[in-house]
Amino acid sequence: MKKIFFTTMVFTIAIVLASFSTGKDESYTPTTSFKDIEIPAEVQTVIDNKCYGCHNTESRGEKAKKKLNWDYFTNGGYNSVKIYTKLGKIEKILSESKMPPAKFLERYPDKKLTNEESQLLLSWAKSQKEALLKE
């Protein structure tokens, strides 16, 4: 009996929430394809050399690939909202100089981002966020 009541309540709440309008343009459909994001060659080089090792589908580091998976950027695994969110997190982490983590750099000092690389990634993330907003 409790299960039926619970199911009915969840269904009712879902209908009520779905009936509220956000006041936004309802005709907007977010894209789900990566083709809207451009990664210039120089940015891709930095990603490949400094980021991709931990942030990819095949990575052993579950935490790193859950936080950011570059493969999902390139294969449509993230929709445009998720991409926008990930770009914002990239901005924040780079602005705070938190990537790569200090513990990782103890073992792999060659993976440290130079100021130029960090600024390149930061500028790229900002520009892609702006481009997504214009769509």
> Is residue 54 within 8 Å of 69, Cβ to Cβ?
no
Q: How many residues does the chain have?
A: 135
**SS3 per residue for 67-105:** HCCHHHHHHCCCCHHHHHHHHHHHHHHHHCCCCCCHHHH
Q: What is the model's pLDDT at position 14?
A: 54
Task: Give the span between the Cα atoms of 9 and 52, in whole angstroms.
Answer: 44
In sequence order, what are the residues at sequence separation of 6 or more whose Cβ sits closer than 8 angstroms to the Cβ of residue 86?
A: 68, 73, 78
**For residues 49-68, average pLDDT:** 90
> Is residue 121 within 8 Å of 43, Cβ to Cβ?
yes
Q: Domain coordinates of the chain in residue numbers?
A: 30-134
Q: What is the model's pLDDT at position 77?
A: 86
The residue among 94, 108, 84 whose CA lies nearest residue 36 is: 84
Q: Give yes or no for residue 28 having a pLDDT over 90.
A: no
pTM: 0.69
Query: How confident is the model over 82-131, as pLDDT tens digits?
Result: 999 999 999 999 999 999 999 989 999 999 999 999 999 999 999 999 88
Q: What is the model's pLDDT at position 79?
A: 87
